[in-house]
Each structure stands twice: as C-alpha cells, then as structure tokens.
Structure 1
Amino acid sequence: MPQIDDYAVILNSHGEPICVIQTKTVEILDFSNVSAKQAKQEGDLSLSFWRQAHQAFLQPIYQDLGLVFNNDTKIVYETFQVVYK
C-alpha cells in the first residue's frame, strides 16, 4: 500500500517509465464512499461516470480472483504529485 511521501515510477502499457510520482495522501474507503470531489480529482466528468468506469474495470479482476466486488469493497484512494516527467 502506498505511504505518504513514497515515490513510484509509473509505466505505460509497454512497461516503459513515463513519470515519477510522490504520494501526498492515502485513504481507505468503501467504494460507495468516494465523493464527487475525489472523482473529479481523477479528471472524471462525474461521480456516476467514475463509479461505472471503475466498477467495469475492477469487477472482472475480482471475479477472476473468486471475490465479489460491491459498494462495500474497500479501495485505496491516493493523491499524488508528478515530480519527474
């Protein structure tokens, strides 16, 4: 799990580094408790869009692992700053 002030290298779909980030905040939330403000921080247009897009991405991963994804599923919400690009 990310920790405040950690650094991480972000890779593109080819496994090539594209930037370095520094974690600023970390919260563990129920999926249903992500706010419209948090969704907008990710650049999404609305909370509804954020929920639909993330559920569509996460649900198959959970199913492959034999787990159930629902509104009570805990997620890690991280904010960060790009420190090198």
Structure 2
Amino acid sequence: MNKIQLFWEAFCQEKNLQNIVYTDAFQFGVEADWLADLVCQGKKTATTSGHVFYELENEALPQVGEYSIVLNSHDEPVAIIEIQSVEVVPMNEVTEDFALAEGEGDYQYWWDAHVRFFTSQLKAYDLKFTPDMLVVCERFKKVYSTSS
C-alpha cells in the first residue's frame, strides 16, 4: 500500500468514515510546498484553474463534496480537502474576496501569478491567455492534515 492510500485510510479511520473515496491527489501550482503549507495552516481555502484544461483533457469539473489529497513537491500527502463550492466565471470577474481566499497575497499578486501560470500552460496547446478566459473557482476546507 502506498503513502497516499495509507494517508487516506488514516483520515477515514480517524473520522469514522466508510465507503467514501478521494477524487484526486495533486500538487498545487508551481510552488507545491509553499501552497501545501498554506492549506495545512488553513490560509489557503480556494484555488483557480483554467476551464479550458478540463475540456482539453476531457476531465469532469470538480464537484461539491468531493475529497482530494494535497501533495507536497515530493508527492507526499500533507492534507485532505473537501470541496465546498465550484463556480465557472471569466477570470476578469473573479472577486477580490475569492482571490484573497487563495491565501497567496493581494488581488494584484493573484492576478499576475495566474496570468503567468495560464500563459505558460496554454502555450502547450498553442492557445493564448485572454483576461476573460473561463476559470474554475473552487472553495474548499481542510479536513485533515499532517499538522492536525
């Protein structure tokens, strides 16, 4: 049994949960350790992803109530999150409140970081960033972590 599965089973046992599964195990963005630490501290309670990537990769959008495992840069599990809300909006309509919930800085920092990230990721598909591109805005809560 791998580390991720053991982490999940420890969570289920501690919370006395049965017959539930996690949807994904992933690293956040390009600074996985910093972002995972923000989740563990409860400072990061939201994330933004590009809607187009779900379409290009033929993946379903996240759903309220789903659980995911947050990994550090070494692919070790550090937290489990539960999705609280999912909204698809143009990037230039994301509210400051939502951007701040990502826990990484002020609205301008959020905007600049996402423009850089999406511009870089879109190049692989010969697509260009536009300020009105659709993004998936997820709010989540940390329900378990290595520090809890």
TM-score, normalised relative to structure 2: 0.55
For 1:23-79, what per-residue CA distance to the aligned partner results, in whole angstroms no more than 9, with x for missing partners? 000000111011111111112432111100111111111012111111111110000
Which letter maps to 1:36? E
Q: Distance in 1 between matches of 2:100 and 2:67?
A: 23
Q: Does residue 56 of the first structure (1) align with residue 111 of the second (2)?
A: no
Q: Given the alignment, which residue of 127, 130, 136 partners 1:70?
A: 130
Gaps of at least 5 residues in structure 2 are 1-60
Alignment partner of 1:57: what SS?
Answer: helix
Q: Distance in 2 between matches of 1:82 and 1:26?
A: 16
Report how many residues are paired: 85
Q: Given the alignment, which residue of 83, 86, 91 partners 1:31?
A: 91
Q: Distance in 2 between matches of 1:82 and 1:46?
A: 21
Q: Does residue 13 of the first structure (1) align with residue 81 of the second (2)?
A: no
User: Could you say which structure has the higher helix fraction?
Assistant: 2
State the percentage of identical aligned residues: 33
- The 5 Å alignment of 1:74-85 reads 74-85=134-145
Q: CA RMSD in A?
A: 1.0
Say which is worse superposed, 46-55 or 73-82, in terms of deviation: 46-55
Q: Which contiguous aligned blocks of 4+ residues in structure 1 show a shift greater than 6 angstroms?
A: none
Which letter maps to 2:94? V
Q: Which has the larger radius of gyration?
A: 2
Higher RCO (C-alpha 8 Å, min separation 6)? 1
TM-score, normalised relative to structure 1: 0.92
Which letter maps to 2:80? V
